[in-house]
Amino acid sequence: MTIKRALFVGFLLAFLVLGFVAMQRAMPEAKEERIYKAIKIYSPYKLEKIVGGLAIIDIRTGNKEKPGAAEVLLRYDELDKQWGSRHLRVEGNHVIVLGENNQSITKIFIETPKEREFLRTFYGI
Are 46 and 56 in contact by the 8 Å Cβ rule? The answer is yes
Tell me the pTM. Answer: 0.81
Domain boundaries, the chain: 1-30, 31-123
Per residue in 35-54, pLDDT (tens digit) is 999 999 999 999 999 888 89
User: What are the Cα distances from residue 116, in Å, to 38, 70, 75, 79?
Assistant: 14, 29, 23, 20
Report the pLDDT value the prediction gives residue 57, as an integer from 0 to 100.
95
Report the pLDDT value the prediction gives residue 2, as an integer from 0 to 100.
87
Mean pLDDT computed over 6-34: 90
Mean pLDDT computed over 102-106: 91
Per residue in 53-81, pLDDT (tens digit) is 899 999 999 999 999 888 898 999 999 99
